[in-house]
Amino acid sequence: NAGVTQTPKFQVLKTGQSMTLQCAQDMNHEYMSWYRQDPGMGLRLIHYSVGAGITDQGEVPNGYNVSRSTTEDFPLRLLSAAPSQTSVYFCATADRPNYGYTFGSGTRLTVV
Partner 1 sequence: SQQGEEDPQALSIQEGENATMNCSYKTSINNLQWYRQNSGRGLVHLILIRSNEREKHSGRLRVTLDTSKKSSSLLITASRAADTASYFCATDKAGTYKYIFGTGTRLKVLA
- Chain length of the chain: 112
For position 26 contacting partner 1 by CB under 8 A, the verdict is no
Rg (CA), the chain: 13
Q: Which stretch binds partner 1 (CB under 8 A): 20-28, 40-48, 66-74, 75-83?
A: 40-48
Q: Which stretch binds partner 1 (CB under 8 A): 21-29, 50-58, 65-73, 79-87?
A: 50-58
Residue 102 dihedral angles phi and psi, to the nearest 5°: -110, 125
Identify the residue among 5, 11, 27, 45 touching partner 1 (CB under 8 A).
Answer: 45
Identify the residue among 48, 74, 78, 85 touching partner 1 (CB under 8 A).
Answer: 48
Going by C-alpha positions, the residue among 38, 42, 3 that lies closest to residue 23 is: 3
